[in-house]
Amino acid sequence: MMYERVLTGDRVTGKLHLGHYAGSLQTRVALQEQYETFVFLADIQALTTHFDRPQLLGQHLHEITLDYLSAGINPEKTTIFIQSMIPEIAELTLLFSMFVTVNSLRHNPTIKAESKNSSLDELYYGFLGYPVSQTADITFCKATIIPVGEDQLPHLELTRKIVRRFNELYSPILVEPKALISETPRLVGTDGNAKMSKSLGNAIELDSTKEEIIFKIRKATTDPARVHKNDPGHPDICPIFAYHGAFRSAGVTEIREGCERGTMGCSACKQLISTALDQLIEPMRELRSYYATKPKLVQEILISGTQHARSIAQETMAEVREAMSLNYF
């Protein structure tokens, strides 16, 4: 096993979907064979937008844990933990926040994009500080490989800056992480929105039944220029074509040609991708039903993962306190 740590989390805001799978989850499953891997349930970060609905967190937390396990995250190889149960992460967030300027947070493009409906006056302190708390998530275990979707790149850049600043100011004990972007850095939503997202209602969840997949794919947006079956299409603007590229290993060139020439109709193209997605999800269903009937086992996985993560966090916290001269006695 190579000695570098892999870490990523997911906001506990709803079930995971194909975007998570293609953008990050699949990579984590592959990396756990080679690296010490940490995956966490970001319940505190869920509160940055869901602070008025905390009672939903427990249910989402349970669903996402099943998503992890069914997608192939192996609890014997990967530490799965709950963010809010590691108080050292909160402590690190607070300490980092002392030397991060508000401007560097306000100009973060992801923060800007996700807060575009609210004016600056309505920007919440915790939401603005998201990248700072993310820095704490990453640095508590000195993770260096962060498999994330493209939307996380600005956050990761800031994390690297915060780490450098900490190391300059105090002592070089933290490690700069790197984003690991998959071949599908941002999966488009079924409505054609650039990002499939839990919060936008344009996602195909990893626990979908065959019927749900068929239904959502049938309703999905395609190239609006294709009114009749034989109209030539523009695959590069079609979500369905993006799914072919992301989830099918063969036959993608034929789809492109068929679409552009008007010989492959949208409904045949949709049937093909529905079948492929069902085949991708089928093995996940089996694992899901295995774990769904063992709530005690799932709970033990979370408790022991959290304990393990916490012991590492305590070691780092001791080093940080010493570096910052906060060890008074």
Under the binding rule (CB under 6 A), the answer on residue 83 touching ligand ATP is no
Considering only residues 5, 11, 142, 270, which one is a binding residue for ligand ATP as defined by CB under 6 A? 11
Q: Is the four-CA dihedral 148, 154, 158, 163 of positive or negative sign?
A: positive
Using CB under 6 A as the binding rule, the residues of this chain from 153 to 192 that contact ligand ATP are 186-187
Asked if residue 216 lies in contact with residue 245, where contact means CB atoms within 8 angstroms, the answer is no
Q: Which segment (131-139, 193-201, 254-262, 270-278) binds ligand ATP by CB under 6 A?
A: 193-201
The stretch among 14-22, 134-142, 301-309, 314-322 that binds ligand ATP (CB under 6 A) is 14-22
Q: How far is the CB of 13 from ligand ATP (least distance, A)?
A: 4
Specify the amino acid at residue 135: T
Q: Residue 6 corresponds to which amino acid?
A: V
CB closer to ligand ATP, 7 vs 174: 7
Q: Give the total of residues touching ligand ATP (CB under 6 A).
A: 20
* Residue 162 in tokens: 């915060």
270 belongs to the binding site for ligand ATP (CB under 6 A): no
User: Least distance to ligand ATP from the beta carbon of 322, Å?
Assistant: 32
- Residue 274 contacts ligand ATP per CB under 6 A: no
309 touches ligand ATP by CB under 6 A: no
Binding to ligand ATP by residue 149, rule CB under 6 A? yes
Nearest to 15 by CA among 3, 28, 25, 29: 25
- What CA–CA distances, in Å, run from 215 to 206, 211, 274? 15, 6, 9
Answer for the pair 28, 75: CB distance below 8 angstroms, yes or no.
no
Residue 13 near ligand ATP by CB under 6 A:
yes
Which of 15, 198, 244, 288 is the binder for ligand ATP (CB under 6 A)?
198
Question: Based on CB atoms, which residue is closest to ligand ATP, 15 or 288?
Answer: 15
In a 3-state reduction of DSSP, which class is residue 85?
Answer: helix
Total Cβ atoms within 10 A of residue 10: 22
CB of 70 to ligand ATP, least distance (A): 16
| Cα 25 versus chain centre, distance | 7
Q: In a 3-state reduction of DSSP, which class is residue 175?
A: coil
152 binds ligand ATP (CB under 6 A): yes
**Using rule CB under 6 A, residue 151 touches ligand ATP:** yes
Binding of ligand ATP at residue 199 (CB under 6 A)?
yes
Window of 146-154, 207-215, 275-283, 295-303 that interacts with ligand ATP by CB under 6 A: 146-154
Segment interacting with ligand ATP (CB under 6 A) among 21-29, 82-90, 223-231, 272-280: 21-29
Amino acid at 153: L
User: Which residues neighbour 300 within 8 Å (Cβ) at sequence distance 6 or greater?
Assistant: none
What DSSP letter does each residue of 205-236 carry, written as one string?
BTT--HHHHHHHHHHS---TT--STTS---GG
Q: Are strands 145-148 and 78-82 parallel, antiparallel or unpaired?
A: unpaired
**Interacting residues with ligand ATP (CB under 6 A):** 8, 10-11, 13, 19-20, 22-24, 148-149, 151-152, 186-187, 195-199
